Structure 1
Amino acid sequence: MTTVAEETRVAGFRRELGLASLIDVHTHFMPGRVLDKVWAYFDAAGPLLGRPWPITYRLDEDERVATLRRFGVSAFTSMLYPHKPEMAAWLNAWAREFADRTPDCLHTATFFAEAGAAKYVREAIDAGAVVFKAHVQVGGWDPTDPLLEDVWGTLADAGVPVVAHCGSGPVPGAHTGPEPIARVLARHPRLRLIVAHMGMPEYGAFLDLADRYPGVHLDTTMAFTDFVEEFTPFPPADRSRLRDVGDRILWGSDFPNIPYGYAHGLDALAGLDLGDDWLRAVCHDNAARLFAAGLSGRAHRRS
């Protein structure tokens, strides 16, 4: 639950950097019964991971939106994802309605490896989606599945970013890791791919992809926090590389599904000692540039 003290910590972080607001590219909003199932998964994370995973912000939808606003988050996403076929188009319809009534949420969409995916992805883009979520681990699909070839091509041609959970953390999947998504990038080098969680635990390999492809970004979601560092620490030898790709790293929190307060994720970034310019870029400026068109559209809707 958010507290005045937590809000004060986040406000202090922004004030020290001279940031009027944050942009959080990895927050979860989805239909209630779907989110309940996600929370049930995390409630069972002890048996799955060998450690508890409490949901710090287990709030109703309106209060979750209000909490982000009190933290000074001016734009966020509704990262949602299907775990089975014939679910993505329904989720996309919900996300469109959510974005329509939540002007500070970037219109988010998703897909699954299934016939018709390219059609509903195109429809979502035409309806205003400016970012997609792809969850290789939960979906259990192969990024190189021929059913997704036109999906990747459509996203690359449209220049619409896709946040992909393609790393093997916290639990490896059948098609997680850098190799499958690297094959996608080889075929679609202009794809604007945002690697969720910095690609944990294969951090270095995903940084290699960012070196190779200028459209590859990484979000900081849960990386560098005490919770993650205990079991999948970021390699100290790769820390200097974070500065090299500092224009393509984006703040992501995983709100509300985090087992600690929102400010801790920001403090973990500050603890990297990469400088205020780097922090400002990660927490606001990089996303503002990447989503300039989408943010402009949302601002118009708010006015």
Structure 2
Amino acid sequence: MGPARTGCDPEAAEVRRFWGGLGLPGLIDVHTHFMPERVLRKVWAYFDAHGPLIGARGWPITYRRAEDERTALLREFGVRAFTSLLYPHKPGMAGWLNGWAAEFAGRTPDCLHTATLYPEPGVAGYVREALEAGARVFKAHVQVGGYDPADARLDAAWGLLAEAGTPVVVHCGSGPAPGAHTGPEPVARVLARHPRLTLVVAHLGMPEYREFLDLADRHERVHLDTTMAFTDFTEDLMPFPRGLLPRLAGLGDRVLLGTDFPNIPYPYLHQLRALERLGLGAAWLRAVCHDNAARLFGR
């Protein structure tokens, strides 16, 4: 796959120039959202209504398009692999969402087969079923789900995921608005019981950046994704302390590109430029935008 393609839209051409200039074969984005259409419509409606979990600021959806158009655009961008992060907000949803995600992955070979979980009776059973069906990554949304990740009902499920080595992208930071169980402490309790669990802390754990860097320092299987971090939108609200950049550079082998596509209030390219302007170097960008995730997921 080359860095440019005749006829692609202007933003896609710029995205391809970005990774082509780094000598990469493309991008791997570990934080993108695909879900059943009626669920996604409700998510978009929540953003449109400025729901309490997204904070008080307006949040327009830049890529409000049909599913096939969204997958086609990621391919135009040169995203070699992406996720279909989806999550329940109440009991009884996770198994159904996992069924949809398996079907989506079956017809979308560049999507990493994604699954989710919720603290409820039977969670270990459907997590095992998803793993046996080929799930490559799980999503846990502590903020939206409103649950304690250290809930005893999840213990067996975390154990299965730790044993399988399957990464879990977990929204556990308190941004953009805190939840009842957000912050580093609940996740630290999970890791104390399951130290081999592979976690990808979404959004660099914003705004508890320092605390989640500390967690990654203590646990070699804890990764961080860049979703929305360093963008103008986020820096206005929850700026990343520049004094922590050397620590982020030092964890360069465990930082992964994430964007929140399509639910972002700015162009996809802006996330990439925001990472570039940190000045951490081409080797760091190559690792973050492709190589770390390629190693983690065998892509």
TM-score w.r.t. the length of structure 1 is 0.95
Instruction: Summarize the alignment of residues 58-137 of structure 1 with structure 2, pairs less than 5 Å apart.
Output: 58-137=64-143
Distance of 1:36 and 1:50 partners within structure 2: 20
Aligned to 2:30: 25
Alpha-carbon distance in 1 for matches of 2:41, 2:213 = 34
Structural RMSD (CA): 1.0
1:177 equivalent in alignment to 2:153: no
Distance 1:46 1:152, change over 3 A: closer
Correspondence for 1:148 among 146, 154, 157: 154
Which amino acid in the other structure matches residue 121 of structure 1? V
User: Is 1:189 matched with 2:204?
Assistant: no
Q: 2:260 aligns with which of 254, 262, 265?
A: 254
Contact 2:95 2:126 in 1 (8 A): yes
Output the CA distance in 2 between the equivalents of 1:49 and 1:24: 25
1:46 shift after superposition: 7.4
- 8 Å contact from structure 2 (residues 20, 26) kept in 1: no
Q: Give the letter aligned to residue 225 of structure 1.
A: T
Residue in 2 aligned with 1:165? 171
* Number of residue-to-residue matches in the alignment: 291
Structure 2 gaps of 5+ residues are 1-7
Contact 1:29/1:79 (CA < 8 Å) preserved in 2?
yes
Task: Please give the secondary structure, in 1, of the residue aligned with 2:279.
Answer: coil
Q: Give 1:9 shift.
A: 1.5
Residue 53 (structure 1) aligned with residue 59 (structure 2): yes
Is the partner of 1:223 in helix, strand or coil?
Answer: coil
Residue in 1 aligned with 2:5? none
1:22-59 deviation line (CA, Å, top 9, x unaligned): 00000000000000011011112277622210000000
Shift of 1:19: 1.1
User: 1:8 and 1:224 mapped to 2: Cα distance?
Assistant: 22
What does residue range 216-255 of structure 1 map to in structure 2 within 5 Å?
216-255=222-261
Cα displacement string for residues 117-166 of structure 1 (whole angstroms, at most 9, x for unaligned residues): 01100000000001000000000011111100001111001100000000
Q: What is the aligned partner in structure 1 of residue 220 from structure 2?
A: 214
Question: Which residue in the other structure is 2:12 paired with?
Answer: 7
Q: Distance in 1 between matches of 2:166 and 2:51?
A: 36
Residue 204 of structure 1 corresponds to 210
In the alignment, the residues of structure 1 paired with residue 214 and residue 157 of structure 2 have an alpha-carbon distance, to the nearest angstrom, of: 24
Read off the aligned partner of 1:204 and give its amino acid letter. Answer: R
- C-alpha deviations, 1:6-28, integer Å up to 9, x for none? 11210111121011210000000
**2 CA distance for matches of 1:180 and 1:120?**
23
1:189-227 deviation per Cα after TM superposition (whole angstroms, max 9, x unaligned): 111000000000000100001100000000000000000
Distance 2:197 2:50 in 1: 33
% same residue: 70
CA distance in 2, matches of 1:39, 1:135: 17
Whether contact under 8 Å (1:168, 1:200) holds in the other structure is: yes
SS in 1 for 2:149: coil
Amino acid at match of 2:283: D
Q: Which moved more, 1:261-270 or 1:45-54?
A: 45-54
Q: Structure 1: which amino acid aligns with 2:225? A: D
Local SS of the residue matching 1:45: coil
- Measure the CA separation in 1 of the matches of 2:182 and 2:273: 29
Deviant stretches of 4+, over 3 Å:
none
1:46–1:52 Cα contact (<8 Å) kept: no
- 2:226/2:258 contact within 8 Å kept: yes
